[in-house]
Amino acid sequence: MSDKTEYLFSYGTLQDKVVQLANFGRELSGSADAMLGYEQSWVEITDPEVLATSGKTHHPILRPGSDSSVPIPGMVFQITPEELAAADSYEVSDYKRVSVVLQSGIEAWVYVSV
């Protein structure tokens, strides 16, 4: 395991304890934060493994919005590079990982619409 810390912002299923245990082998601790400049919609999940893990047929997804978009609430987690790779594997192809600056000023990875 690496000592490097990555920050991951979740506004959806990665906040769920069951999803965290399945992907990271542990429950993540984090703090409330928000993402600016995006708007939330929903994507249908058809990947059987992701469906089995999350138990949800639709997951939230963010698309670029405007400066006036309502902040998207969520949690920011400190994770390892290995855990970030596990998160990449969990997310379906509708998502891409981008770096953003959260409302708190923390620079974090987040999954948004492709």
Ordered by start, the domain boundaries in the chain are: 6-113
Say what the pLDDT of residue 108 is. 98
Q: Which residues, other chains included, contact 4 with Cβ-Cβ below 8 Å and sequence gap of 6+?
A: 80, 81
* Average of per-residue pLDDT across 95-106: 96
Q: Does residue 29 surpass a pLDDT of 60?
A: yes
| Polymer length of the chain | 114
Residue 20, H or E segment? helix 17-24
Q: What is the DSSP letter of 70?
A: P
- CATH class label, 6-113: alpha beta
Task: Give the predicted TM-score (pTM) of the model.
Answer: 0.88
Say what the pLDDT of residue 92 is. 87
Percent of the chain whose pLDDT exceeds 70: 97
HSE (side-chain half, CA atoms, 13 Å) at 52: 5
